[in-house]
Structure formats: structure tokens, C-alpha cells
Amino acid sequence: MLERFLNPSVLASISNLELVAKTVVDGFVSGLHRSPDFGFSQEFAEYRAYTEGDDLRHVDWNVFARTEKIVLKRFRGETNSQVTVILDASASMGFSSTGVSKIDYGRFLTASMLYMANLQRDAYGVLVFDDEIRHYVQPSSRQGQLHRVLHALDKAVPAARTDYAKPFFHFQQFHRRRGITAVVSDFWESPKKIVDTIKPLRFHGNDVVLFHLLDPQELRPKFRDSVLLVDSETNRTVEVTPDYARNEYGPKIDAHIAELKSEAESNGLDYCQIMTDAPLDAALREYLTLRKGRN
């Protein structure tokens, strides 16, 4: 039943992005087991008798004052990650052949990831870019952060061309703290150039994951007759024959994906290809895997 809500075409009918994120994450999380790890966090877990070598900072002095017993207060495990999602909002992200555009899918995905970070008390932020940085919400765990990021996502409208260099350069200037950085884009650029642009983030101790959003029509375009295609970013036109789309385009896009994946992995970046007609849980699972690795 809940899987139905992970379907992007169903989510597209929900206008409230927060509700989308809640629906996705609650539906997704309800199928997972709670982590057995303990750590430092605000959520109380249990008391334990003090043993030699334990950190005195965790002694519950109130209990000692009343009972003269030294017990330690234990909390649920908590990481102290900073999650930043970089969302591509270029014009190419507005393409849709399934009813859900890539930008919408990216928003759902971003909102879901950030909602999960919010549940984890992580600091999180978002950056929306095309050839410039359009919106940037600095990572934070303060109250109201979720509304700020969702507002930024709401305002993300596909426009202009993609330019990874400029936004990423600026982003690296004030992004110092280590954390998780997810880049959600269709990556219509040379894989080497993309990776070269993004991999400096890795140097700051970030875990970087590339979410490669693709529309089914982009992977295997199907045309009955010759069509005149217009590039949504450059407005360049090309007359394409069905034979070309069937026979020549496929290998090229496959090679592009393979190269991007290879480049990313060789530079320590995680890569995840996501089709816009696929449920959101695959992307979230990828995120959690990465998040777990951080713990």
C-alpha cells in the first residue's frame, strides 16, 4: 500500500513538498529496522552502571545525588553529519515524457533526503543551481531549517543552461565542514569535466554521491517518423530519424553513462542512476547506504 506513495507519478499529484517528503520517508522508513547502535544524541536510551574507564561526562549526577550510585545515561546513536543536496535546475531538467519532469523528481528526492536528515537531527542544506547558484540554504539543524530548504526547492524552476564549474567553485569556497553531499542532475556534460568539477568536494572529507536523473525517453528515444528536436538549453535543432534513435543513439548514451559511472567511482564518488518513472525508494536506499557508511 505504502509503495504506491513512492511512485513519482502519484507524488506529483501532491502539491505540498513537505507532505511529499513525509509520505515518502515515513513510507520508506516504516519498512526498515531501527539501528541497534548507540551513540551521542538527544534521545535517551537506558541507564548503565559505571565501569572503570567510562567517560564521567555521561554520569547522571541527579541519580548519584539521590541514590549514591554512579550510573551512566545512554542515548541513541547519533552521527553528526552535515547533509547538503545540490540540485540541478537547468532547463534540461524540465524535460518529461512520463508526466513527472526531472526537476520534480529531483525536488521529491531532495526533499525526502533532507526530511530524513531532519529526523536524524543532522544539519542539512540545499543548493539549487543552473549556470549560477540560484538558491542556497546553508546546512543547519536549527528549527525551521526544513521549511527554508523546502521553500528553496519550491522556487527551483528549470531555466538557463547548465554550468557546473561556476556554482561548484563558489560552493567550495564556503563549504568547509565534512559531510554528505548529493548532486542531483541529469549530467548532460562530459563525464570527465563533471567529475573534475565535483571531485574537489571530496577533498574536504565529503562523501559525494551523484544522482543521475534520466527520463526513459532520454535513455531509449522512440520516434515513429523523423522529428526535429530542439535542445531545451541551447535551442539548437537537429532532424533525427527513427533509425538513428534506434540504432546509434543507444550505444552513445550507454557509453556516456558507463564513463560517468567509471569516472565517478575512480574518483571516490558514489554514482546512482535513477529513472524518473522508477519509485523513489531506490534513490533513498542509496542515500541510506551512504549515510550508514558515514557512521
Partner 1 sequence: MGFLSPWFLGGLLAVGLPIYLHLLKQHKQIPVPFSSLMFFEKRTQSSVKHKRLKHILLFVLRLLLLILLALLFAGPYILQKPSSANSGKRNVVIAVDHSFSMRQGAQLEKAKREAAALAAGIGNGARAEVLAVGMHSRAMSQMISDPGQLRASVEAIAPSDERSDYSELGRAIRGIAEAERVPLEVHFFTDAQQTSMPANFSDLAMPADAKLTVHRTRESAKPNWTVETVTASGRIFDTKKARVQATIVGYATPAAKKQVKLIANGKTLDSKSIDLAADGRASVEFVSLDSSYGFNKCEIRIEPPDEFPSDDVFRFAVERADPRRVLFVHSSDDARSPLYYRTALEAAGNGNFVMDVVTAGQALNQSPEKFAFIVLSDPGPLAQSFEDSLKRYVNAGGAVLITLGRSSVGSGKVPVTGDALDGTRIASRSAERFYNITWTDTTNPVIAKTAGLDRVKFYQIVNVQGQGWRHMARVSNGNWIMAEKQMGEGRIMVLASAFDNVANDLPLHPTFLPLVEQSARWLARETESATNMFVGAPLELRTARERATNIEILDPDGKRVLSLEESLKAQTISLDREGFYEIRRAQGRQSMVAVNAPRLESNLAMVPPETLALWENKGKADAATGAQAAASDFEKPQPVTYWRPLLALLLLAVLAESFIASRHLETGEAVDDEIDDKIHKEAA
Query: Do residues 114 and 126 touch, judged by C-beta distance below 8 A?
Result: yes
215 is a site residue for partner 1 (CB under 8 A): yes
Region of 29-37, 120-128, 200-208, 252-260 interacting with partner 1 (CB under 8 A) = 252-260
**For helices 281-294 and 17-29, what crossing angle results, to 10°?**
70
258 is a site residue for partner 1 (CB under 8 A): no
Per CB under 8 A, the list member of 19, 45, 165, 229 interacting with partner 1 is 229
Rounded-to-integer distance, Cα 167 and Cα 101, Å = 23
Residues binding partner 1: what is the number (CB under 8 A)? 43
Query: Which cell goes with 286?
Result: 542509496
216 is a site residue for partner 1 (CB under 8 A): yes
Read out DSSP for 64-103?
A: HHHH---EEEEEE-----EEEEEEE-SGGGG--SSSS-HH
Please return the burial class of 252, using the count of CB atoms within 10 Å of its CB with bins 0-12, 13-18 and 19+. Answer: exposed
Which residue, 39 or 216, is less far from partner 1 as judged by CB? 216
Closest approach, Cβ 225 to partner 1, in A, equals 8
5 is a site residue for partner 1 (CB under 8 A): no
Please report where in the chains the cell 531506490 appears, as a residue: 282
219-to-211, 223, 246, 266 alpha-carbon distances in Å:
15, 13, 11, 24
Per CB under 8 A, the list member of 59, 70, 240, 288 interacting with partner 1 is 240
136 is a site residue for partner 1 (CB under 8 A): no
Per CB under 8 A, the list member of 238, 262, 285, 295 interacting with partner 1 is 238
Which residue, 59 or 278, is less far from partner 1 as judged by CB? 278
Closest CA to 23 of 41, 40, 50, 1: 1
Residue type, 161: R
Closest approach, Cβ 160 to partner 1, in A, equals 14
Closest approach, Cβ 201 to partner 1, in A, equals 24
277 is a site residue for partner 1 (CB under 8 A): yes
Residues between 59 and 98 that touch partner 1 (CB under 8 A):
92-95
Length of the chain: 295
275 is a site residue for partner 1 (CB under 8 A): yes
Closest approach, Cβ 32 to partner 1, in A, equals 22
175 is a site residue for partner 1 (CB under 8 A): no
Residues between 94 and 123 that touch partner 1 (CB under 8 A):
94-95, 102
Provide the 3-class DSSP secondary structure of residue 133.
strand
Query: Which cell goes with 244?
Result: 538513428
Closest CA to 22 of 115, 99, 113: 115
130 is a site residue for partner 1 (CB under 8 A): no
Other beta carbons within 10 Å of 238 = 10
Question: Interface residues with partner 1 (CB under 8 A)?
Answer: 92-95, 102, 186, 188, 215-222, 224, 226-234, 236-244, 246, 248-249, 252-253, 256, 275, 277-278
